[in-house]
Amino acid sequence: MESDSSKSNFCLLLFFLLVSTTMLPAMVSASLGINYGQIGDNLPAPEKAVPLVQSIGATKVRLYDANPLVLRAFAGTDIELTVEVGNEHLSEMSDPQKALDWVRSNVQEYLPATNITGIMVGNEVLTLYDSGLSNNLVAAMQTIHGALLTLGLDKQIKVTTSHSFNVMETSYPPSAGAFKQDLTGHITEILEFHNQTGSPFCVNIYPYFAYKANPEKIPLAYVVFEPNSGFVDPNTSVKYDNMFFGQIDAVYSALSLLGFEEVSVCVAETGWPSKGDADEAGATIDNAAKYNGNLMKMNIEVDVYIFALFNENRKPGPTSERNFGLFKPDTSPVYFVGDTTNKLNTTDEASASLSAIKRFRLILFLCLASTALL
Ligand SMILES: *[C@@H]1O[C@H](CO)[C@@H](O)[C@H](O)[C@H]1NC(C)=O
Ligand SMILES: *[C@@H]1O[C@H](CO)[C@@H](O)[C@H](O)[C@H]1NC(C)=O
Ligand SMILES: *[C@@H]1O[C@H](CO)[C@@H](O)[C@H](O)[C@H]1NC(C)=O
Ligand SMILES: *[C@@H]1O[C@H](CO)[C@@H](O)[C@H](O)[C@H]1NC(C)=O
């Protein structure tokens, strides 16, 4: 009897301590990143992009290639760069010599003046359902990492790949997050790679697309980080007041389900279009300014890269696709996102509920462990 009650008291105390820490602003504030896409025929010279990146307080830039002009433009700045091995190069990268050549000429060549700290191997490969590409993905990540090891660069440069949110089978409620069954084999191999090399699992997260598909059901305030009543995950009792954090926690749940709690998550792309076609609900300047502006003022525990630096006029698809940029090609801002270098002193539950799933699991674990101890 007595031992039982001391056990439950101990659990209650733990619960109180851990839950109360979720009320504090996130302890670790990851820095802001921005995606520098270049599918446009009217974009400014890369030298003009540098002060724009600095003006929004971003300290990380991701490229979709390893454009020498861009890499040279960022030399001597304190901005970290991530370069990409395009999907079209994946099959040749399974040859270690080709991977070594690629890293030498696209990465090592620019160090240390340009601070390249990441290599993306492939973009949204798994959801293209091209078995040739998918089968080459992990091998390419491994040979690129092997090349970094050979060159003594593996500590300073992390290798990863980016995934569409469509790798998820379930994302609601966040605690039920799970990957699509038919992708689990490949994802497990990728997670083994991340677990071994300490690199993050990167996902593209766009609450905009969920809203666009279901504007009557999903409250706009909930997706653009404005005050709203939020939603409580019935499994964990964690309250979410924005979809973005819910989707990140869904990814954490999916990782956990495969046994990879220790692998960290990164958001390789997120953003909101300032313009869209008549059937693209929510694609307005006002919403884009709210989404990106609010996001940029938050302290978030994971690395987040906003999509994108510029509007890109040659992107195919609906009008929204060409209007994700924070800046126009003439370098004027599409809208004002505010001074993001002065972070909000946020104490809202939202930013704190990030990876609340992890804390919830920790509580369970400690309570179970205490049963053994007490
Ligand atoms: C590159 O960025 C990393 C991570 O922020 C930092 O530790 C390192 O000092 C930077 N290297 C250079 C040469 O600036
Ligand atoms: C709780 O999570 C499990 C998976 O972890 C899921 O199957 C179940 O539907 C969730 N329950 C509720 C009430 O959401
Ligand atoms: C992750 O790596 C650690 C250290 O190498 C290992 O002990 C653990 O089993 C790995 N986890 C999984 C799920 O493979
Ligand atoms: C945050 O708090 C600091 C110190 O209390 C203060 O100097 C700063 O102006 C605050 N920032 C905002 C955006 O309120």
How does DSSP classify residue 259? T
Predicted local confidence at residue 359, as pLDDT? 55
Q: Is 124 a catalytic residue?
A: yes
The CA–CA distances, whole Å, from 331 to 40, 50, 300, 335 equal 13, 11, 27, 12
Phi, psi of 270 (to 5 degrees): -155, 155
Predicted local confidence at residue 345, as pLDDT? 41
Long-range contacts of 224-232 (CB under 8 A, 24+ apart): 224/272, 224/287, 224/290, 224/291, 224/294, 225/290, 225/291, 225/294, 225/295, 225/298, 225/350, 226/290, 226/294, 230/349, 230/350
Protein residues whose CB sits closer than 6 Å to any atom of ligand 3: 192, 195, 259-260
Closest ligand to C-alpha of residue 257 is 2
Report the C-alpha gap between 91 and 84 in whole angstroms.
14
Q: Dmax over Cα atoms in the chain, in whole Å?
A: 75
Name the architecture of domain 30-373. Alpha-Beta Barrel (3.20)
The CA–CA distances, whole Å, from 299 to 24, 30, 34, 82, 302 equal 11, 7, 16, 21, 9
The CA 308 to ligand 1 mean position distance, Å, reads 23
Could you please report the per-residue DSSP string of 333-369? BSS----TTS------HHHHTTTHHHHHHHHHHHHHH
pLDDT in tens, the chain (374 residues): 444 555 555 555 555 555 444 433 333 446 899 999 999 999 999 999 999 999 999 999 999 999 999 999 999 999 999 999 999 999 999 999 999 999 999 999 999 999 999 999 999 999 999 999 999 999 999 999 999 999 999 999 999 999 999 999 999 999 999 999 999 999 999 999 999 999 999 999 999 999 999 999 999 999 999 999 999 999 999 999 999 999 999 999 999 999 999 999 999 999 999 999 999 999 999 999 999 999 998 888 899 999 999 999 999 999 999 999 999 999 999 998 865 544 444 444 444 444 555 555 555 656 666 655 54
Predicted local confidence at residue 331, as pLDDT? 96
Q: Please name the residue whose Cα sits nearest to atom 8 of ligand 2.
A: 176
Report the C-alpha gap between 192 and 188 in whole angstroms.
6
Predicted local confidence at residue 301, as pLDDT? 84
Catalytic pick among 269, 280, 301, 312: 269
**Best CA proximity match to 309, nearest among 342, 294, 331:** 331
Report the C-alpha gap between 106 and 196 in whole angstroms.
24
Protein residues whose CB sits closer than 6 Å to any atom of ligand 2: 173, 175-176, 234-235
Predicted local confidence at residue 6, as pLDDT? 56
Q: Please name the residue whose Cα sits nearest to atom 5 of ligand 3.
A: 196
Q: Dihedral (C-alpha) 255, 125, 168, 19: value to the nearest 10 degrees?
A: 40
Q: Please name the residue whose Cα sits nearest to atom 7 of ligand 2.
A: 176
Residue 37, classed as helix, strand or coil, is coil
CB 93 within 8 A of CB 143: yes
Q: Is 2 a catalytic residue?
A: no
Predicted local confidence at residue 118, as pLDDT? 98
At 74, list the tokens.
């960022």
Catalytic pick among 2, 88, 92, 124: 124
